[in-house]
Structure 1
């Protein structure tokens, strides 16, 4: 009998309260902590604003990553487009980095936004000018630098756009 390899798939799911215990082992390398928020504080911020939506990146049955989709209240700083959605607090847990999960999750993102937020026609994000690895991943996934810059908590950020 031939053995078949189990292939884990990447999927995007809305965070649910029962996911909390699965985030306990979520870690980021020290050098990445300056560029993004850890999931728990980001989830707490979501509880304060209705237009912040916490999303988990699943790899098989495991939580491999996390991000927040923030509606007009967050996107307005990055785009004058009222139908834009801000991607923020994006990260992949340390033990899942380097496996292509980030690229695959970003490839799934446009369809996820179109399905769950059909009034949105753009995704925007801010990435720190010194976070070269993240810039590469975002641009490879189709985000475009249109030349807009903002000043974030950690200095200059490039604003990247993806039309839906």
Structure 2
């Protein structure tokens, strides 16, 4: 990863909408995630979901949704203390710069700040989406054997415990 990558995670604001709605992905990536044009409105309208923008130089370059409460029961049985990372993506024009990994490194602190009762981050990744599964693994997400059936095939449910010390997380990621 390029150590010079400077990004931030920000709660969604209208000023990012135009950038987000212009996001594009190649078909082999779009198969596994929803573009903001498909997920943003519902994320903003649903009180159990929080839209988050990955920002670089005041430009939206990535997006994801954090989902909490009973709505995540289809993904993970322990809904108390867990938050589900959904629709994680980097706009195709901004890929290859280490932005996705940098965002995942920032994610635990972002969640600790905005959702202090959350103790675990979970996500579901299609078993055929090897690139994404590898990225999540490098960012510290663990495959503890949980599986679910997704609309596009079997999914691994990956977990990240927020009790992991920050120094350990940053040193293992190569980011200081």
State the TM-score, normalized to the length of structure 1: 0.91
Q: d(CA) in 2 for partners of 1:24 and 1:48? A: 16
Equivalent residue in structure 2 for 1:70, among 67, 70, 75: 67
What do residues 26-46 of structure 1 show as CA deviations (whole Å, max 9, x unaligned)?
111111111000112211111
Equivalent residue in structure 2 for 1:10, among 7, 17, 26: 7
What's 2:171 paired with? none
1:114 paired with 2:122, answer no
Alignment partner of 1:66: what SS? strand
Q: d(CA) in 1 for partners of 2:68 and 2:123? A: 12
- Within a 5 Å distance, the mapping from 1:24-103 to structure 2 comes to 24-81=21-78, 82-103=80-101
What's 2:167 paired with? none
Q: Which moved more, 1:129-138 or 1:70-79?
A: 70-79
**Which 4+ residue blocks in structure 1 deviate beyond 3 angstroms?**
none
Distance 1:10 1:162, change over 3 A: same
What's 1:145 paired with? 143
Q: Which moved more, 1:39-48 or 1:49-58?
A: 39-48
Give the deviation of 1:77 after TM superposition. 2.2
5+ residue gaps in structure 2? Answer: 163-176
Distance 1:79 1:70, change over 3 A: same
C-alpha root-mean-square deviation of aligned residues, in Å?
A: 1.3
Q: Which moved more, 1:47-56 or 1:88-97?
A: 47-56
Figure out how many residues of one structure are paired with residues of the other and give that number: 158
Q: Is the 8 A contact 1:149 1:159 kept in 2?
A: yes
5+ residue gaps in structure 1? Answer: 1-6
Equivalent residue in structure 2 for 1:162, among 150, 160, 165: 160
Give the deviation of 1:24 after TM superposition. 3.9
What's 2:172 paired with? none
State the TM-score, normalized to the length of structure 2: 0.85
